[in-house]
Amino acid sequence: NQSSASKTRDPRFKKLELADVEYFRSILPPGSVLSSPEFKGNSTEQDLLPYNTPVYTSEVGHAQVVLLPTCTLEFTVTLEPIVPQGGNTGTLAGSMTVYDEIAINMSKMNSIRSLDENAGVLVCDAGCILEELDKKLNDHGLCMPVDLGAKGSCHIGGNVSTNAGGIRLIKYGSLHGSVLGLEVVLPNGKILDNLSILRKDNTGYDIKQLFIGAEGTLGIITGVSILAAKKPKATHMVIFCMNSYEKVLLTFKKAKEHLSEILSAFEYCDATSMNITLDTQNKHNTFKKKHNYYVFIETGGSNQQHDQEKITDLFEDLQGSNTIEEGIFAQDSAQITKLWEIREFMILSHNKIGDTYTLDLSIPIDTADKAVQDLKKFLTESKYYDESLPVTNDKFHVKCVTGFGHIGDGNLHLNIVVDKYRHEFTELLEKFVFEYVKNLKGSISAEHGIGLLKPDFLHYSKSSEAIELMQTIKKAIDPKGIMNPYKVLP
C-alpha cells in the first residue's frame, strides 16, 4: 500500500499548465472543470477530496484538475496524461492520479440511451450508477447482470473497466459475456463506435473485449451496450450456518444439485468476518458467535411455489445429513435486503476496526479455508499475530485474519486487519500470499483488477509472454502512454 511512492514521474509528460486548464474551460460547459486556485479555480482541497480518495488504501491522489464531461463529443484530443474515474469504489487505487494527471470523472454522463425490452438490450452512458440502472430495468421486468456491494455509487463504465464480478456472476457470468458493445474515446481523440446491440457478431477480432478489464489504460469508455437479464419473478434467500469448511463445500454441492438453474448466489464467510460485521453493524444478534462458517444462498426463478419446494428439499437434505446447524430464511423482500446487507457491509466492517488488506484471490474452492489458516499460521510464526486475542487488542500488529467471498466462483477475499498500514508488513504479506496463490495456479486478482497497487505482482499470475503481449497492445493503442499511467502494466 505504498506503491505510488515508488513510481517515478514519466519524463515524456509535460507539466500541466494554466493554459491547458483554460483551454478545457473554453471548450467544456460551465461547471465541468473543477480546479484548485493554482489553476484559477475555486475548488478547495476538501472539494477535490472525493476525486482523490481511493477506498481501502493509504494512498491519496494529487488531482488538482477534474473534468466532468457531459457528452462524448466534449472529449478532446489531449496530450496530457489522464485518469478516467467512475464512482471511485475500486479497491486498487486505479482511479487515482499519481502526479499532475487530469482526472476525467464520468458522473455527469449518466443517461440511458435506449432500451430494447424484447431483446433485453440496454444502451447507456458509462457514468450511470449501477443501482440506478437496475432500478430502471426492474420497471421493465429486467435486471442488471451484475450486482455488488458498491452498487449505490459505482458506475457501469467502472464495472466494465474492472470487469467486476460480484454476487450474481455464478448465474449471469462475466461482463465479457454480457457486454455487447462499447463506445470508447481512444488516446488519439478518435471515438471508437463499437456500441453494437447484437448478441452474435463474428466479424473478426472482438475489439470491445480489450477494454473490458483494461482499467482505463486503453481508452475512456463513454457508452455501454449490455444484455440485461430477466428479473426473477421469485427470489428466495437463506443463510445456512455450519461448523466446518468441509460442510460449506458439501452445501455448495447439494445447492447445485437441488437448485440447479435457479441458484443465483452462493457466498461464504467465516465466523470472524460474520462477528465483526454483526458487531459493527449492530444487528442480527440471534445467530451471532454460535457457528464457524456461514453461507448466503439466493435463488431467482419464475415460480414461487416451485422454487420454495426446491429450497425446502435442500434444507431437509442439509439438516438430515447433519451438514448445517441452522438456517435463517428471509420471509419477504425487505428481509432479503437486510440479510444481503450483512454480506455487503463485510469489507466496510473490517475497515471500521483497523486498516484492512483485502486480497482478492482466485484459488481452487477446496483450498480457500486452508489458505486462511495457513496465513494465520505464518503471521503467528512471524510474531505479528495471536489468534487467541480479541480483534480489539492492540498488542499485535495484526488484529485478525478472515476469509469470505464469492466462493461459488472460487473467489476468496482474504482479509488482514492491522493497526496501521506499514510498508515492511505489506511486503511480507504480499510475498507470502502471492507465492501461495502461484503455487496453486490461482490468480492474485479475481475481480478487483491490478490498478496502481499490483502491477509489480502481475508476473505471479501472467507469463512473461502474456505481459509482453499486453505491453505491445498498450503501445499500439496508446503510444504516448497517456491513458491512466502507472497502472496495470509493470
Nearer Cβ to ligand FAD (52/323): 52
Nearer Cβ to ligand FAD (36/95): 95
The answer to the question of residue 359 lying near ligand FAD (CB under 6 A) is: no
Nearer Cβ to ligand FAD (170/347): 347
* C-alpha to C-alpha distance for 220 and 76, rounded to whole angstroms: 12
Interface residue with ligand FAD among 90, 223, 408, 410 (CB under 6 A) is 90
The answer to the question of residue 348 lying near ligand FAD (CB under 6 A) is: yes
Interface residue with ligand FAD among 80, 100, 101, 215 (CB under 6 A) is 215
Please choose, out of 25-33, 73-81, 88-96, 248-256, the segment that lies near ligand FAD by the rule CB under 6 A. 88-96
The answer to the question of residue 485 lying near ligand FAD (CB under 6 A) is: no
* C-alpha to C-alpha distance for 146 and 229, rounded to whole angstroms: 9
Interface residue with ligand FAD among 121, 148, 276, 311 (CB under 6 A) is 148
Q: Write 382-391 long-range contacts (CB < 8 A, 24+).
A: 382/428, 384/425, 391/272, 391/276, 391/353, 391/417
Place of cell 497492445: 473
The answer to the question of residue 181 lying near ligand FAD (CB under 6 A) is: no
Place of cell 481452487: 364
**Bridge pairing between strands 102-105 and 65-67:** parallel
CB of residue 394 vs ligand FAD: minimum separation in angstroms? 26
Place of cell 454480506: 343
Interface residue with ligand FAD among 65, 66, 106, 265 (CB under 6 A) is 106
The answer to the question of residue 124 lying near ligand FAD (CB under 6 A) is: no
Interface residue with ligand FAD among 16, 33, 34, 55 (CB under 6 A) is 55
The answer to the question of residue 270 lying near ligand FAD (CB under 6 A) is: no
The answer to the question of residue 481 lying near ligand FAD (CB under 6 A) is: no
CB of residue 403 vs ligand FAD: minimum separation in angstroms? 15
Q: Where in 420-479 is the site for ligand FAD (CB under 6 A)?
A: 447-448, 451
Q: Which residues contact 160 (CB under 8 A, 6 or more apart)?
A: 126, 175, 179, 182, 211, 212, 221, 224
The answer to the question of residue 391 lying near ligand FAD (CB under 6 A) is: no
CB of residue 199 vs ligand FAD: minimum separation in angstroms? 23
Nearer Cβ to ligand FAD (311/482): 482
Interface residue with ligand FAD among 347, 361, 371, 398 (CB under 6 A) is 347
Nearer Cβ to ligand FAD (150/482): 150
Q: Which residues contact 324 (CB under 8 A, 6 or more apart)?
A: 240, 241, 242, 247, 251, 318
Please choose, out of 63-71, 90-98, 279-287, 290-298, the segment that lies near ligand FAD by the rule CB under 6 A. 90-98
List the one residue out of 311, 130, 336, 119 whose CA is nearest residue 230: 119
Interface residue with ligand FAD among 41, 69, 81, 157 (CB under 6 A) is 157
Nearer Cβ to ligand FAD (89/110): 89
395 touches 386 (CB < 8 A): yes
Phi, psi torsion values for 408, nearest 5 degrees: -60, -25
CB of residue 39 vs ligand FAD: minimum separation in angstroms? 21
Site string for ligand FAD, 303-342 (x = CB under 6 A): ----------------------------------------
CB of residue 237 vs ligand FAD: minimum separation in angstroms? 17
Interface residue with ligand FAD among 158, 301, 354, 408 (CB under 6 A) is 158
Site string for ligand FAD, 239-268 (x = CB under 6 A): ------------------------------
CB of residue 450 vs ligand FAD: minimum separation in angstroms? 9
Nearer Cβ to ligand FAD (128/259): 128
Q: How far is CA 56 from the centre of its chain?
A: 12
Interface residue with ligand FAD among 61, 69, 81, 86 (CB under 6 A) is 86
The answer to the question of residue 128 lying near ligand FAD (CB under 6 A) is: no
Nearer Cβ to ligand FAD (49/119): 49
The answer to the question of residue 410 lying near ligand FAD (CB under 6 A) is: no
Which residues of the shown chain bind ligand FAD in the complex (CB under 6 A)? 55, 83-91, 94-95, 106, 126, 148-150, 154-155, 157-159, 161-162, 164-166, 215-216, 220-221, 347-348, 447-448, 451, 484, 487
